[in-house]
Structure 1
């Protein structure tokens, strides 16, 4: 444990000289960031770092990139999922790859001019997004070959294959990312920042009412910083009875270094490994 808000777990047998066989996964939320190192030769988690309650997650990431020796290694591949307010979903039948700039006019924030395309064929749409200039410059300077994703990519990877009505909620200390799928189709996805359980309650009721969701027929799958004894879980259980924890990424990854942690805490981070 580095501080009250961060934790670093490392396999004592991890040899940094094997980084060329490893993938680096980074997840940057509105108030947190985390990373995992996966040895692809044996599909084993070698390190996990998590920092919660960041005043500015982009600045925290930039500082860590300068101070963390593990992040300076040369990896086989780097995947970075970043929260951004500028992300839109275009149905595949309407998506025009030759006219990407036309989609930027729908963005709500002034950010980097670099546009990213994230195909999601399992859900029938393509996501278009950009990042803040600060994060764009940070990633370009330190992780030049990284592949970038919208923050929802990991949660949608966890949702893949769920054919019944399913609400996926991925929590940090101060936010949660929600995705609702029905019969394999994505109906709703959004990230919410919350200061307390009362705000979570408000947003849950908003989701249920706006989507006309039948809570009794909807399974809830939880990941991230939440457990059965906290207020957020009790809030969710007022409306839903079929509640599960996303305990793995379903690809038999060896995550024994996380055995002393709740299994669902880092399932969305590790799900980045499933993103193409």
Structure 2
């Protein structure tokens, strides 16, 4: 504490006041460099001369506390314009898989599926013989006829729903007579049902899958060759049947 007090006296007292304290005058010494040459500069407690009154006093270098001179914090300046966006970096590594979330609530029921349908099944109870030419087989019994698409008198089914159809024809042969029939699509024969003349009458059947477009007609034709062509029937029983139904509409193919 003695060194700072002495320094304060040196700085505050005028030159003439030193005589009142009984101290001799001493030349001024720069604080930034020693008063002696560097080669012979004495230490803090080095003896300068035998009659020097400053002998034994420590050398004191004044320091300034910068924090005392620090002013108040200024106001923040205006915010500058945002800089340009940098280049996109490489994708990072996959993170850990999170926990399974809770089950959500069931949604409202959807609209019912409306599937297209088409089907027919018809029969003939009376037998039919043909001596010459071609003839469409008419039917007299309606088993299934959705939307009235099958014309019994003309013996034709007209397609209203395009798609793939399953068709089947079943007949009973006539003794000693040939049975020769075609399943027709418009004017094209697609399948044949045939039985040679025999002493015994037999049940014969033919079936196929057939694609139909809207407006196509399906029917059964008797084909006459060099022999009588006939199919057997009785009023009380149903020996002759022709059926078909839609397997898959064209919109789902």
For Structure 1 versus Structure 2, the TM-score category normalised by the shorter chain is under 0.3
Structure showing greater relative contact order (alpha-carbon pairs closer than 8 Å, 6 or more residues apart): 2
Greater helix share, structure number: 1
TM-score by length of 1: 0.18
**For the pair shown, which has the larger CA radius of gyration, 1 or 2?**
2
TM-score by length of 2: 0.19
